[in-house]
Amino acid sequence: MIHNLKHRINVRFASKGVLFSKKIDEFLCDCSNAFLFVVRFFKEAFTKPFHLNELINQCFDVGLKSLLLISITGFIVGVVFTEQSRPGLVDFGATSWLPSLVCLAIVRALGPLVTALICAGKVGSGIGAELGSMQVTEQIDAMEVSAINPFKYLVVTRVMATTIAIPVLAIYCSFIGLYGSYLNVHEQESSSLISFYQNAFSYISFLDLFAFMLKSVTYGFTIGMVSCYMGYHATQGTRGVGRAANQAVVLTIFLVFIEEFIIVTGINFFRYG
Amino acid sequence: MERENRHIVNDHAPVISISGLFKSFGELPVLQGIDLNLYEGENIAILGKSGSGKSVLIKMIVGLLLPDKGLVTVLGQNVAALNRKALDRLRLHIGFSFQNSALYDSMNVFQNLAFPLTMNVKHLNRLQVTRAVEEALEAVGLRDKIREMPSDLSGGQRKRIGIARTLILKPKIMLYDEPTSGLDPVTSADIIELINLVQSQYHTSSLIITHDLTCAKNTANRIAMLSKGKFSKIGSFDELFVTDDDQLKAFFNYNFLQ
Ligand SMILES: Nc1ncnc2c1ncn2[C@@H]1O[C@H](COP(=O)(O)OP(=O)(O)O)[C@@H](O)[C@H]1O
Ligand SMILES: [Mg+2]
């Protein structure tokens, strides 16, 4: 059982005294705990009972919480990116490339990234604080002793919800961004919506869409996993709740950029050989 | 309100049996050789200073913490050796009332009580759930609070709702973690009355963790004193109270002067 395994690892670390230095020991202990947390997720996500109602609730929660923010930021990113890219293209008389340039930028980088950053702040801190306060006020223990598996009920549903909802939000964010871009292009170069979208997607390949989905799913999973881990392991009362929320956001954003780099490198290796 | 101090001598196996229990956190030893038997129908109060490991002890009874050494047997089963399913089945027989009530603060009172029921008992219809919730709330005397959020309740009411939430699964064993701490004397007396009522109505055996001597005196058949990781004394209130142990005397005096 994971619980036992984790206990054994902690006991082993504790019983050997200081292995390296206290800081490094703690870090290794955290890493092993985080690894076991992820393993436990995959074990429990595919066994009964599935809390479908709670999963649907959480999906709506994640989606609705960040919808407004994503609409605004997505729109602004589209408008600003178009506006700022125009001078470079004007010099070559190539403003007709503007839609496809913006679309490439949004699909290949901005859409998933902006969504992930907004959701890390909005959803990640929310989950971190919520689970953190449930942990320090013993609500998680209370679930456990009434024979409800809190990991399944709280963690699995939330991680699944972010993994499902964030790709949807990323698609939505990308379309809003393109719409912002269209309004800008329409005003300056007076193109129609249909020709804008045809133009925009002309350079988008299947690999781009695949990378888009891969990234958004990865970011969604990361946001859910990190925030749940931080909340679930909160200690030391109210201060711990604040720290859990804070660390959830900081670590998520850091990991999102690392993942962005790895995925882009991988995809480009695939694309260009 | 004082209870008769009958000792429950029982040839049945104890419902909870703890032997040679050790637990430490890193360098900090908390429990160092605990032995205790709780028999059917019996109430034992565990007295001890704050930080002496009382909560750690009852958390090991429900498998929230694992012992370093020693055996905890509940209803004949070794808690540390159970797999998740068996442990959950055992936990259904144990009601655990948390020190700070641990009500789910995103749910109202009705949902707090219905949650453990609907999660554990399949195929209940709405009416059966409502009836069970009302019955449990009736037992703790807070039926009118059914639609309130936990944040709108007083400390004493939260404790009662917490107890009602455990009663809904009809436990055989009740574990109370400091049921009267942080409550005024009148509310404390109400909770003490409730603990006794639960015992007679639901036929439970209980461990009551407390540092409130009045609570121990009025609820327990036996009292166990936890100090330095061990039970320094176990016996009825009268047996313990007439003592020449200086530490105990100091403890009693402290409590009575409060
Ligand atoms: N999960 C834990 N990790 C580390 N130390 C703990 C843990 N739980 C309890 N302790 C420590 O064990 C000691 C006893 O705690 P506790 O049982 O809560 O005391 P009390 O008798 O007041 O209920 C305290 O010093 C506490 O800091
Ligand atoms: Mg305690």
**In this model, does residue A173 exceed pLDDT 70?**
yes
**Alpha helix (H) ranges present in chain B?**
54-61, 84-91, 109-120, 126-140, 155-167, 185-202, 213-219, 237-241, 246-257
pLDDT band at A29 (very low <50, low <70, confident <90, very high): confident
- Which ligand lies nearest the alpha carbon of B48? 1
Measuring from atom 18 of ligand 1, which residue has the nearest CA? B55
A chain contacts of residue B29, beta-carbon cutoff 8 Å: none
In this structure, the answer to whether residues A173 and A239 fall within a common structural domain is yes
Among B21, B23, B25, B28, say which to mutate for ligand 1: greatest number of ligand atoms within 8 Å of CB. B25
In this structure, the answer to whether residues A33 and A67 fall within a common structural domain is no
Q: Do B119 and A146 touch (CB under 8 A)?
A: yes
For B5-24, the pLDDT digits (tens) are: 445 455 677 899 999 999 99
In this structure, the answer to whether residues A55 and A43 fall within a common structural domain is no
* Mean pLDDT within A31-39: 91
In this structure, the answer to whether residues A181 and A101 fall within a common structural domain is yes
For A153, name the nearest residue in chain B, comparing CA atoms only.
B119
Measuring from atom 14 of ligand 1, which residue has the nearest CA? B53
pLDDT band at A273 (very low <50, low <70, confident <90, very high): confident
Q: What integer pLDDT is reported at residue B2 of this predicted model?
A: 43
CA distance A261 to chain B (A): 38
Q: Quick one: tokens of B154?
A: 């007083």
Atom of ligand 1 nearest to the CA of B48: 21
* A146: nearest CB among B83, B106, B116: B116
If 0-12 CB within 10 Å is exposed, 13-18 middle and 19+ buried, where does residue A92 land?
exposed
Q: What integer pLDDT is reported at residue A92 of this predicted model?
A: 84
Calpha distance A130→B215 (Å, rounded): 34
**In this model, does residue B4 exceed pLDDT 50?**
no
Domain boundaries of chain B, sorted by first residue? 16-93+171-256
* Residues whose beta carbon lies within 6 Å of some atom of ligand 1: B 25, 30, 48, 50-56
* Mean pLDDT within B133-157: 90
pLDDT band at B249 (very low <50, low <70, confident <90, very high): low
Q: What integer pLDDT is reported at residue A24 of this predicted model?
A: 85
The CATH architecture annotation of domain B16-93+171-256 reads: 3-Layer(aba) Sandwich (3.40)
In this structure, the answer to whether residues A89 and A202 fall within a common structural domain is yes
In this structure, the answer to whether residues A197 and A264 fall within a common structural domain is yes
In this structure, the answer to whether residues A124 and A212 fall within a common structural domain is yes
Least confident piece of the model among A218-227, A242-251, B177-186: B177-186
In this structure, the answer to whether residues A117 and A163 fall within a common structural domain is yes
pLDDT band at A2 (very low <50, low <70, confident <90, very high): very low
Instruction: Answer whether A161's CB lies under 8 Å from A59's CB.
Output: yes
* Mean pLDDT within A196-202: 87
In this structure, the answer to whether residues A92 and A189 fall within a common structural domain is yes
For B50-66, the pLDDT digits (tens) are: 888 999 999 999 999 99
Instruction: Answer whether B218's CB lies under 8 Å from B3's CB.
Output: yes
A chain contacts of residue B167, beta-carbon cutoff 8 Å: none
Averaged pLDDT of chain A: 89
For B166-205, the pLDDT digits (tens) are: 999 999 999 999 998 888 888 888 899 989 988 888 889 9
In this structure, the answer to whether residues A33 and A57 fall within a common structural domain is no
**In this model, does residue A242 exceed pLDDT 60?**
yes
For B211-241, the pLDDT digits (tens) are: 888 888 888 889 998 888 888 888 777 777 7
Nearest 5°: the CA angle B11, B232, B237 is: 65
Q: Do B84 and A149 touch (CB under 8 A)?
A: yes
Q: What integer pLDDT is reported at residue B140 of this predicted model?
A: 87
Q: Do B103 and A144 touch (CB under 8 A)?
A: no
In this structure, the answer to whether residues A15 and A113 fall within a common structural domain is no
At B22 the three-state DSSP class reads: strand
Hey, is the C-beta of A14 within 8 angstroms of any chain B C-beta? yes
For B116-132, the pLDDT digits (tens) are: 999 998 888 999 999 99
Distance of alpha carbon A5 from the chain centroid: 28
For A107-140, the pLDDT digits (tens) are: 999 999 999 999 999 999 999 999 999 999 999 9
Q: In what order do the strands lie in the sheet with B16-25?
A: B28-38, B16-25, B69-74, B77-78
**In this model, does residue B74 exceed pLDDT 50?**
yes
pLDDT band at B206 (very low <50, low <70, confident <90, very high): very high
In this structure, the answer to whether residues A267 and A236 fall within a common structural domain is yes
Q: Report ipTM for this prediction.
A: 0.86
B chain contacts of residue A144, beta-carbon cutoff 8 Å: 62, 64, 91
Averaged pLDDT of chain B: 86
Calpha distance A180→A120 (Å, rounded): 23
CA distance A266 to chain B (A): 40
- Count of structural domains within chain A: 2
**In this model, does residue A15 exceed pLDDT 80?**
no
Q: What integer pLDDT is reported at residue B251 of this predicted model?
A: 66
Among B22, B27, B56, B96, say which to mutate for ligand 1: greatest number of ligand atoms within 8 Å of CB. B56
Count of CB atoms within 10 A of residue B20's CB?
Answer: 12
Q: What integer pLDDT is reported at residue A105 of this predicted model?
A: 93
Hey, is the C-beta of B123 within 8 angstroms of any chain A C-beta? no
Pick from A184, A202, A206, A205: nearest CA to A193: A184
pTM of the model: 0.87
pLDDT band at A19 (very low <50, low <70, confident <90, very high): low
B chain contacts of residue A4, beta-carbon cutoff 8 Å: 66
Pick from A245, A57, A26: nearest CA to A136: A245
Containing structural domain, residue A201: 51-272
Q: Which residue has the tokens 């109210």?
A: A238
For A37-92, the pLDDT digits (tens) are: 999 999 999 988 889 999 999 999 999 989 999 999 999 999 999 999 888 888 88
pLDDT band at A9 (very low <50, low <70, confident <90, very high): low
Q: How many CB pairs under 8 A join A and B?
A: 63
- Which ligand lies nearest the alpha carbon of B56? 1
CA distance A53 to chain B (A): 12
Tell me the CA–centroid distance for residue B11 and ligand 2, in Å: 32
